[in-house]
Amino acid sequence: MPRKALPALASPISAERTGDAEKITVNLGFVDLGQIDLLVAEGFYGNRTDFIRTAIRNHLATHADAVKQVAARRMLVLGLQHFDAAYLQGVKDARQRLQIRVLGLATIAADVSPELALETIESLEVLGAFHASAAVKAALLKRQR
């Protein structure tokens, strides 16, 4: 039986960037840290975080083509994908299931029950961050890649 198309008005939000960020911890050697502090003290960077963000962005820029090719091959959505109960109910009503693949941030709204998530999300692959209630995360644990 052919799958029905989802209504165009009920699509998840996609965006290139958000103001939100994930916090990570990085362990550095004392000499590396001292060199960063020297550059900060000399005014090259505002603070350690500014230096580290800039270094990461510059390094990622050198691999931008590879990231684009792999993201396309793996059919990853780049940026933000947000799923709320109304959208997932539309997926359920259309008798479809989602294979969510995100490079960035995937969020499932607080109004989504674990049952609705299980009924509508077949698989979940998130490279970056995944935000959902603890109950939804627990329900989808076996479907994550």
pLDDT tens for 39-92 read 999 999 999 999 999 999 999 999 999 999 999 998 999 999 999 999 999 999
Please give the Cα distance from 114 to 133 (Å, whole number): 9
Q: Are residues 44 and 80 in the same domain?
A: no
CB proximity list for 30: less than 8 A, separation 6 or greater: none
* Domain of 103, in residue numbers: 10-19+75-143
pTM (2 decimals)?
Answer: 0.72
- Give the relative orientation of helices 48-62 and 64-73 as an angle to the nearest 10 degrees: 70
On whether residue 91 sits in a domain, the answer given is: yes
Question: What single letter denotes the amino acid at residue 139?
Answer: A
Tally of structural domains, the chain: 2
The SS3 assignment for 17 reads coil
